[in-house]
Amino acid sequence: MIEAELKARVREPAVVRERLERLAVGCDEVYRDTYFDTPGADLEAGDRELRLRTVDGPDGTRALLTYKGARVDEVSGSKPEYETSVGEPEAVRAMLGGLGYVEALAFEKHCRNYELIAYGRPMLATLVRVPDIDGTYVEVETQVASERELRDALGSVRAVLDGLGIGEDDLTAELYTDAVRARRDGES
């Protein structure tokens, strides 16, 4: 599957949140993301990601292991994504270490998620704050089976952002991992 996603900086978080609340019921969750790579950073160099995520929410805690391939769309940053539930995150962490992967970066994302149907597609809209970086972001995503479907899906995602009052100049393809690294490197 390919994650057709657009991300934007939010100038007026309260306004965007109010508009999202009209579309769906929001759910607050905290993501604790740990990214793994080879000691030589081969995954990062290939624009790929391997992430172990622990999600704390109103229904308890769950964990996910995600692999994202290289971008298939430079403008949006959309990538093939493969994700599975993890019953024992510490066991997965040990397995990854045993396979030679090292922890490359870890940080938290504070999210308010909205599951909705828009333009005939299931979508997830998320308001995001990352304590390591300034500002609030909104992500809107849907899944497609192939690159042929990506353009139409991104058009639908863009239309949702338009409805939230998010302008073209607010869009960003910057990865949270890059922003967190830059912030932490600036503090050292």
Sign of the Cα pseudo-torsion (66, 69, 72, 75, in order): positive
* Helices assigned H by DSSP within 24-149: 42-45, 89-98
Report the length, in residues, of the chain.
188
Using only C-alpha atoms, what is the Rg of the chain? 17
State pLDDT tens for residues 81-135: 999 999 999 999 999 999 999 999 999 999 999 999 999 999 999 999 999 999 9
- Mean pLDDT value across residues 36-61: 97
Angle at 52 between CA 131 and CA 124, to 5 degrees: 70
| Residue 186: band (very low, low, confident or very high) from pLDDT cuts 50, 70, 90 | confident
Q: Where are the domains of the chain?
A: 2-187
| Residue of 131, 175, 143, 135 whose CA lies nearest to 12 | 135
Supply the mean pLDDT for the chain: 97
CA torsion 106-113-151-155 (nearest 10°) is -140
Please determine, for residue 66, whether its predicted confidence score (pLDDT) is greater than 80: yes
Asked: is 2-187 a CATH 3.90.1150.10 domain? The reply is no
Note the pLDDT tens digit of each residue in 15-29: 999 999 999 999 999
pLDDT at site 161: 98
pTM above 0.85, yes or no: yes
Under 8 Å between Cβ of 53 and 107:
no
Owner of token pair 């994650």: 3
Residue 132 burial by CB count (10 A; 0-12/13-18/19+): exposed, middle or buried? Answer: middle
Q: With 80 as the cut, is the pLDDT of residue 188 above it?
A: no
CB 54 within 8 A of CB 48: no
CA distance 51 to 74: 21
pLDDT band (50, 70, 90) for residue 187: confident
At 161, is the secondary structure helix, strand, or coil? helix
